[in-house]
A and B are shown apart, each in its own frame.
Chain A
Amino acid sequence: MSACFPLESAGSQPPLGSSTTCGPRVSELTEAGNLAGVQHIILVLSGKGGVGKSTISTELALALRHAGKKVGILDVDLCGPSIPRMLRAQGRAVHQCDGGWVPVYVDQEQSICLMSVGFLLENPDEAVVWRGPKKNDTPPGTSDEHMATVDALRPYGPLGALVVTTPQAVSVGDVRRELTFCRKTGLRVLGVVENMSGFVCPHCAECTSIFSRGGGEELASHAGVPFLGSVPLDPELTKSLEEGRDFIREFPESPAFPALLSIAQKVLIEAPARVP
């Protein structure tokens, strides 16, 4: 699960980039005030691993940044933290200050900051084996870690949830359970995103549904939530994520671009805002 925090300042936030402050602090979530400057909190969920949850979080953050927003990303995938690499932030050191952990800025303009357990691993090849009480954040699947994250963020609500699936029935099966989880915990679902929706052959333009088709729309319709869009398979997108590049800025002609932008726009309109 990742949480995207578009941080459009309402004036209550200390200026970013100042050398005397630590910037926005994503820390002990029970501390009042740490998320005070955060206007919208969006949880990116899937219920199924490997559907592109971190990809969608990253691209959503980049698209929101291009729309002029300041964004924070909290990567709470304890066992497979992918986001640092996707934003070319792997190996960065994190510091602690009075208010808690200081998130890492991934760009010079300091419009996206990131906190990930990936930063806490000394050796990137180290296995992270967490048992029981040590874990307080979450990876794919519906489990106590999921509950803990939602509970911790709830005081800063309202929360919006964006649910990611691929077209196959097997993914949809898992994601249905995730939507039940959202309903049971009172999380508002902004909509379903279907990732890996078909591939257009660059040689002959034939579109092949490699991972089956239609699952995302059916799921959204079955659960009574909006369908936000389908993102096609796009090798440029995959490569950008491997290399930590800004796909939104560098590949506007690529097949996945229009879908990602459209999804970001819908999120901008629909994300529930906190009353200041």
Chain B
Amino acid sequence: MGGAGGLSDSDRQWSEEAFSRRTIEEIKEKLKTVKHKILVLSGKGGVGKSTFSAHLAHGLAEDENTQVALLDIDICGPSIPKMMGLEGEQVHQSGSGWSPVFLEDNLGVMSVGFLLSSPDDAVIWRGPKKNGMIKQFLRDVDWGEVDYLIVDTPPGTSDEHLSAVQYLSAAHVDGAVIITTPQEVSLQDVRKEISFCHKVKLPIIGVVENMSVFVCPKCKKESQIFPPTTGGAEVLCQDLKIPLLGKVPLDPHIGKSCDKGQSFLIDAPDSPAALAYRGIIQKIQEFCGLHQPKEEHLISS
């Protein structure tokens, strides 16, 4: 073993791997009380992934008997606190870990955004520190008994993605929902994202096409603001044999509700966008229902 000079390279590598394996096991233990885990991904930024994650959480939590948790691991662009109306909230530590911020009794939220003291604070973090934060969120948050944990990820295929998937690898993730807009610019990133999911053996629940069509509130005529020049998500899903969970039209209510930190499912329940969301949420619940967590024997330590 290394003397005064510290660990040798191989010792360090061994201890890092052992630490990783131990962390993965610790995370698995901590998440044992979480029944279903869903990652929300997008290849491209700005397609409405966080908006979707927030409303998936709202939608699932409308049933008081369903315990929902929302984890925002977009370390550099944490949008969830604002969208959930929780800006300025603090996280607390207790004996059993970090406590999430509870929006409702059955809806808990954790985000790095809660750790920033001012909305102007720039989160300029380097690789290992980012991984460390993700590890902490997954291992040290005391979620309690949870039916659905929704993980809002940063866009792309980055360190954060790999970290999250690795850390969750032993804890049975139900699958990933991939968000896109109709444009080819977005779809080409979705293909990369799907490729990533296959590489890391992450099941894909399906694709959601956001910003599908715009219905003018005045004349009710439709416009394609983001034209699906290559067939949109529908053709992509057919080609790659992946379920299209639904298409959500553009609706000014969504942006307004998010700015106010409210659920647009409550603010505009009869809008076509709200109806589309409900259909998608139902499909996700059905998918999770088919994949019940296995009974696992606890290994006595």
Q: Do A and B bind each other?
A: yes
Q: Which of B43, B188, B225 contacts A85 (CB 8 A)?
A: B188
| A111 interface hit (Cβ, 8 Å) | no
A255 CA to B83 CA, complexed, in Å: 30
Query: In the complex, are the beta carbons of B185 and A127 less than 8 A apart?
Result: no
Contact A144-B127, Cβ < 8 Å, known A125-B191, A129-B196, A180-B121:
yes
Q: Are A51 and B46 in contact (CB under 8 A)?
A: yes
B155 within 8 A of A: yes
In the complex, A85→B188 CA distance in Å?
Answer: 10
A interface secondary structure, majority:
loop
The answer to whether A202 and B256 have CB atoms under 8 Å apart is no
- Interface residues as binary, B184-210 with A (CB distance below 8 Å gives 1, 0 otherwise): 110011011101100100000000000
* CB neighbours of A40 from chain B (8 A): none
B94 contacts the other chain (CB 8 A): no
Q: Assess whether A16 is interfacial by the CB under 8 Å rule.
A: no
Complex interface residues of chain B between 28 and 54 (CB less than 8 A to chain A): 43-47, 50-51
| A50: contacting residue among B45, B193, B252, B256, CB under 8 A | B45
B98 within 8 A of A: no
User: With contacts A144-B127, A173-B119, A177-B122 known, is A201 near B219, CB below 8 A?
Assistant: yes
**At the interface, yes or no: B216 with Cβ under 8 Å from chain A?**
yes
Which residues 91-123 in B have Cβ within 8 Å of A in the complex?
A: 119-123
Q: Which residues of B contact A (CB under 8 A)?
A: 43-47, 50-51, 74-77, 79, 82-83, 119-127, 130, 154-159, 161-162, 183-185, 188-189, 191-193, 195-196, 199, 214, 216-219, 221, 223-227, 229-230, 250-252, 255-256, 258-259
21 residue pairs of the A-B complex, CB under 8 angstroms, read: A48-B45, A50-B45, A51-B45, A124-B191, A127-B157, A128-B192, A131-B127, A139-B156, A140-B45, A142-B76, A144-B127, A168-B258, A201-B218, A201-B219, A201-B223, A202-B223, A208-B214, A210-B251, A212-B259, A235-B225, A243-B229
Besides A174-B79, A212-B255, 18 more A-B contacts (Cβ < 8 Å) are A49-B45, A50-B155, A52-B46, A125-B195, A129-B199, A141-B75, A141-B77, A141-B154, A170-B259, A176-B119, A177-B77, A184-B122, A206-B216, A208-B214, A208-B216, A211-B255, A238-B227, A242-B184
Q: Which residues of A contact B (CB under 8 A)?
A: 47-52, 79-80, 82, 85-86, 124-132, 139-144, 146-147, 166, 168-170, 173-174, 176-181, 184, 199, 201-204, 206, 208-212, 233, 235, 238-239, 241-243
